[in-house]
Amino acid sequence: MSPRGAALFDVDGTLVDSTYLHAVTWWEAFRQAGHRVPMADIHRAIGMGSDHLLDHLLSGDRDRDQDETIRAAHGTLFAQYWERLAPLDGAADLLRACAKRGWTVVLASSAHGPELAAMRRALDAEDAITAVTSSDDVSASKPAPDLVKSALEHSGVDADAAVFIGDTVWDVRASHRAGVPCLAVLSGGYPEHDLREAGAYEVYDGPADLAERLDSSLLAAPGER
């Protein structure tokens, strides 16, 4: 029997408290390459894949030969935090509550393999997770819809039977382009107004708030939208 519905979860900022660690490590990676980028601008770009993020934050006439060095520096700097990553309050409970209600739970992260593995260790909720997809599986990252579509393929359900949960406007836009409604959480630091303007269907303070209000959300039960 095919699954009745899929709950597709972003990880950084949605389930794991890593958004500002990414902001500061991107800031340092840019600084090392001779770029001065305001931290606030970097924060508002978190959630994009690195291919889009560099184009969004740096000038178009930059030396693009530096791009891979900047990405590598960010990865090395962020890796220093891997073993200290912490789940957001209620994250594991939310995943288990969705699985208990019959949702197929899929993680859809812009992270690469080892980084995503570190976040999964922090979450410690493997019993609730059916499948995982990452930037390693797609050619274009958020806000392109590729990652959401890959998560759908892993779940085995159509877009109209899925819900995406994320924390950035880039998550909302990617899920919208994939035809999947998005529930947003404020734990990544994006204002509610921005998330709703991007098209978020519902907005919650964080995973704990969503878990507590699950029965009145789009995640109440699969197949009941």
- Residue 95 corresponds to which amino acid? L
Percent of the chain with pLDDT over 70: 98
Residues 6+ apart with CB under 8 A from 109: 10, 11, 12, 116, 119, 132, 133, 134, 135, 147
- Residues 32-56 have pLDDT tens digits of 999 999 999 999 999 988 888 999 9
| Cβ contact 211:205 at 8 Å | no
| Cβ contact 164:175 at 8 Å | yes
The domains of the chain are located at 6-18+86-216, 19-80
Q: Is the pLDDT of residue 224 over 90?
A: no
Is the domain 19-80 a CATH 1.10.150 member? yes
| Cβ contact 145:175 at 8 Å | yes
- Residue 52 corresponds to which amino acid? H
- Residues 177-217 have pLDDT tens digits of 999 999 999 999 999 999 999 999 999 999 999 999 999 99
Q: Residue 167 and residue 110: Cα distance in Å, rounded?
A: 13
Higher pLDDT, 221 or 91: 91
What CATH superfamily classification does 6-18+86-216 receive? HAD superfamily/HAD-like (3.40.50.1000)
Q: Residue 150 and residue 154: Cα distance in Å, rounded?
A: 6
pLDDT at 192: 98
| Cβ contact 156:2 at 8 Å | yes
Categorise residue 36: left if φ over 0, alpha if ψ from -120 to 50, beta otherwise: beta
pLDDT at 1: 35
| Residue 221, SS3 per DSSP | coil
pLDDT at 225: 58
Percent of the chain with pLDDT over 90: 84
pLDDT at 210: 98
Q: Is the pLDDT of residue 2 over 50?
A: no
